[in-house]
Copies of this chain bind each other. A is one copy, B any other.
Amino acid sequence: MSNSIKKIGVMTSGGDSPGMNAAIRSVVRACAYHKIECYGIYRGYEGMIDGDFVQMDARSVKGIINKGGTILKSARSQTFRTKEGRAKAHEELIKAGIDSLVVIGGDGSFTGAMIFNQEFGFPVMGIPGTIDNDIFGTTHTLGYDTALNTVVDAIDKIRDTASSHNRLFFVEVMGRDVGHIALNVGIAGGAEEILIPEEDLGLDRLVESLRRSKKSGKSSSIVVVAEGDKIGKSVFELKDYVDQNMEGYDVRVSVLGHMQRGGAPSCFDRVLASRMGVRAVESLIAGKSNFMVGLKNDIIDLTPFDQAVKGKSKINMELLRVSDIMSI
């Protein structure tokens, strides 16, 4: 029932992503708007177990919409995976009078929330925050759009060097299970080839493609590689393979790493976070639970947690074809 919600707890969990702070701000202000108390829970489920809470009002979240990371901090909790851990967390919430939760994080965090809901009937809502965009039920996760721009900016810089020296660069970008980042930054960065977890291009075709591009008059090339690419070679092994099987290329490697997770969120991520936070709070007020807020066709919608964590986020195969045409 809507009238049961009096005190919402909000937390960030799993890897941080740009837009998490904007989502915290939105949850806090939506609570203030609806005259509901709001508590921040530090360090995800770890802080929940420790009762590490802080009361937040509209002014507590001033000046954070444009900050990367999360002011509530994040962590991965082993203890919350145990029944005892979750019981302790529940106890702490009850003690503080918190009666419902907004979890900002990825599918691991949502699985935790779902189990917690099953065990204690505690109302929970999820907001998808991860740069990988690997969550079913939303076309965009918080931080994804920002990460795309961060990576493209880095690739633009690498291209300056690549084209000044006629080099071939393997650039590793994030994406252990899905190729969203690789595919989009590959097209936007003018990559010769894009290696993703969803498709096995094969080493031979890679070398062949690089040969063809060289022949066609290109003097430098960038190959974007997702962390979890299907070929199963690291960027360093790819470099070795090309060194041994191709002539005339000075091959280099760049692993972009953690900087992909940080930075001020893009306009898109800030607006998305603001919309999602409002919807999460209003859904709890409306008596809903166990859903993830998502973006579908530019509309904010809900997906049941069990679908969100079981489903698979799919890449747009049209983009592979566009990439092929662009790298002619």
Contacts and interface: CB of A to CB of B under 8 A. Distances in A.
Interface of A: 12, 15-16, 18, 20, 25-26, 29-30, 32-33, 58-59, 63, 65-70, 73-75, 139, 145, 148-154, 156-161, 163-166, 169, 184-185, 187-190, 216-218, 252-264, 266-268, 270-271, 274-275, 278, 297-298, 300, 316, 318-319, 321-322, 325-326, 328
B58 A328 contact: yes
A204 B12 CA distance: 36
B298 A165 contact: no
Contact of A268 (B58, B67, B268): B268
Contact of A160 (B65, B68, B160, B297): B68
A123 to B, nearest CB: 20
A318 B297 CA distance: 14
Contact of A187 (B20, B74, B270): B270
Given A157-B150, A163-B69, A322-B278, A267 B75 contact: no
Given A73-B163, A254-B257, 17 more contacts: A16-B164, A30-B325, A59-B217, A65-B190, A66-B190, A69-B163, A69-B164, A152-B267, A156-B263, A158-B259, A184-B267, A187-B270, A252-B258, A255-B255, A255-B257, A256-B259, A278-B322
